[in-house]
Chains A and B, each alone.
Chain A
């Protein structure tokens, strides 16, 4: 474009008139003078500064697998997604799961112009026209589906994200939820080995057929042991029957549905409920600590919207939560306790934080004689009411107790299926079924091994400024992590 004359000192206008370099308009005809090189470089320079606009770092990725898992994540998305920054949502479905989902239209956050993106959806191919039904089939279909990787990548799971947490929700009794979820987690961990994982595993109710319990037990075994070690950092066992019995109220005192309670639990875990909660809540930290201490299965105990005026003190609210564990627990076996408290800021002003923490610590120690570690996270919201939410995550109970119903169903189902039918009907094998049983025994055995010994109590403040407490023979490994 620039006419090389006198050492490149001139530039020609489109009509061929020479102008001094840098001239914007032709001195002869008045036409604009556009230097292509300069103009293009200007565009490219601007675009190279746009890397920050195209780097969508996802600190939290929520994945629903199967009918119920997708429904719960979609429900959570609708209620809390606008509060969560740097998050993404993926629903992995099969065989008409989508019918059960609420509308996934994008919603406008209040006061904001930009619309909230609906969760991404992934259909496992080969399952659209038939029920997946069994763990083995769900796992097989997911394994054969190369598209899962792409869907995970699209949600932002990649190894460049050092502080990434994946929260998976699946009902393990179904073929898709049970079979596809461990495989999906495996793929996600392959994409980002630094990614921490929490799996909310909804276990089938007592009136469901043995095949559902069989699915759930097989799936649980995959999460608890895969390629030599636990696949998930934390598995939150939620018995569907117990979930249905759970009651909670919102900050206006109105009863909330069970799906909303699950949403609430996820919100407490991920800081969605607390204002500016990202710095107050760190599920990745809990996951890291669980893995460090070798405790992976947790039973959540939830108390949502408990009025301090009615309950009198936080201890009573903790008791209320402990009275309704979402899976069977053995308090004597609890070795790791995470206490997540969300309280309105105005209550925090009336109860000094130190006093509150001391109260929570004391309760923790009194309740769980063999406690070896604990984390207390207190988050504040701007709610006007006096209602407090508590989520206890109690780890250390063996799966033979916490997942007893699934184990019994698994045993019954296993005993009636003829060995040659495993492959033909259930896309499984005698060996795989045996491995599932052994994996759960392995985990329970590990709890026995680590349960002995005398420990001390360690208190520390982690990198996020959270006060934590651990009883251990040595300082918690999580503490020294960068």
Chain B
């Protein structure tokens, strides 16, 4: 913080003192100077006139829970959590003068700014978690819905019952967006009427698609954060995940039920979505490879890899891996 000549050397802007008060007496300690930087409140003392100032106390501003002026004793009372997360408090007696008077407002201003910054960072992190959590739920429920379609084509009601139960559990946990007509699907399954269940399922897929297509939906909850160009997963990518999951899970029944031409068409579409997701998962812009030049087998291999990567990424981000 200080050089041999006693003058303050700033390593960076965050360490540059915003305010300095000399002749401060530390409770139970000696005299010295109190420096307020953008990052910390620092108390420096010198043993003798010719000795080098030594940092005796440094409190990270983000750890301070309270800093108030005791007008009676002219002491700045600071409370904070130390590195062991234990409560600490200290009184620092300030001299009379403008520097001391200005310190406390400056300190509180810094604290407010830091808290606001921290809150924003927290909200950003929470928004990113929200996006990944939503993506994971969409991925899960889409997989289950596609599983039901596969079960319907095989007339495997036992499998369908299990999948519907899983979907109902997700709905109970609140993992399914309200408004998606999931209950109508659950109600249709006991009829064992394949076409009816398929129709209800299409309603669910359409409902889920509409919900994901609604740009305002996250904004209602996250406000201006939605407009920020945060790196990594975006709301738009959840739509890609949804499309990818539906199409990739349907490939299996398609191979049984559809022509090779239709399967190839589906693989080509999946290849495009895979390429988009690839960029999202790598969290950085990549050189664009011409996937349209790949043949079906190569595309299928890329799609399979993407399915594995997507699953890993989603599970690790939501902590279920």
Chain A residues within CB distance 8 Å of chain B = 1, 14-15, 24-25, 29-32, 34, 36-37, 39-40, 42-44, 46-48, 50-51, 53-56, 117, 150, 153-154, 156, 158, 160
Known: A39-B269, A150-B192, A158-B192. A34 touches B198 (CB 8 A): no
* 0/1 interface trace, chain B 179-198, chain A, CB 8 Å (1 if under): 00000000000111111011
Chain A residues contacting B273 (CB-CB under 8 Å) are 32, 34, 39
| Docked complex Cα distance between A153 and B197 (Å) | 13
The segment from B19-27, B79-87, B128-136, B239-247 found at the interface with A is: B239-247
Chain B residues contacting A31 (CB-CB under 8 Å) are 275-276, 279, 288
- Judging by beta carbons under 8 Å apart, are A34 and B276 in contact? yes
| Docked complex Cα distance between A411 and B250 (Å) | 62
The 6 closest A-B pairs by CB, nearest first: A54-B194, A153-B192, A32-B272, A30-B288, A54-B152, A51-B195
**Chain B residue with the shortest CB-CB distance to A32:** B272
Chain A residues contacting B239 (CB-CB under 8 Å) are 1, 36
- Judging by beta carbons under 8 Å apart, are B193 and A158 in contact? yes
In angstroms, how far is the closest chain A Cβ from the Cβ of B240?
7
Chain A residues contacting B201 (CB-CB under 8 Å) are 47
11 contacts across the A-B interface (CB closer than 8 A): A32-B273, A34-B272, A40-B209, A44-B206, A46-B262, A47-B198, A51-B194, A53-B153, A55-B195, A153-B190, A154-B192
- Judging by beta carbons under 8 Å apart, are A47 and B202 in contact? yes
- Judging by beta carbons under 8 Å apart, are B236 and A1 in contact? yes
Residue among B212, B272, B291 facing the most chain A CB atoms (10 A cut-off): B272
- Judging by beta carbons under 8 Å apart, are B191 and A153 in contact? yes
Chain A residues contacting B193 (CB-CB under 8 Å) are 158, 160
| Docked complex Cα distance between A158 and B157 (Å) | 15
**Chain A residue with the shortest CB-CB distance to B274:** A32
In angstroms, how far is the closest chain B Cβ from the Cβ of A203?
33
- Judging by beta carbons under 8 Å apart, are A43 and B250 in contact? yes
Chain B residues contacting A42 (CB-CB under 8 Å) are 269
Chain B residues contacting A48 (CB-CB under 8 Å) are 198-199, 202
Chain B residues contacting A51 (CB-CB under 8 Å) are 194-195, 198-199
| Docked complex Cα distance between A14 and B194 (Å) | 38
In angstroms, how far is the closest chain B Cβ from the Cβ of A402?
37
| Docked complex Cα distance between A39 and B271 (Å) | 13
**Chain A residue with the shortest CB-CB distance to B277:** A14
- Judging by beta carbons under 8 Å apart, are B291 and A32 in contact? yes
Chain A residues contacting B250 (CB-CB under 8 Å) are 43, 47
Q: A32-B291, A47-B198, A50-B153 are in contact. List 6 more A-B contacts (CB 8 A).
A: A24-B292, A31-B279, A32-B273, A37-B213, A56-B194, A153-B192
| Docked complex Cα distance between A34 and B240 (Å) | 8
- Judging by beta carbons under 8 Å apart, are B157 and A30 in contact? no
Chain B residues contacting A56 (CB-CB under 8 Å) are 155, 194
- Asked whether B73 is an interface residue with its Cβ less than 8 Å from the other chain, the reply is no
| Docked complex Cα distance between A36 and B236 (Å) | 9
- Judging by beta carbons under 8 Å apart, are B192 and A36 in contact? no
**Chain A residue with the shortest CB-CB distance to B291:** A32
- Asked whether B7 is an interface residue with its Cβ less than 8 Å from the other chain, the reply is no
In angstroms, how far is the closest chain B Cβ from the Cβ of A296?
29
**Chain A residue with the shortest CB-CB distance to B289:** A30
Chain B residues contacting A34 (CB-CB under 8 Å) are 240, 243, 272-273, 276
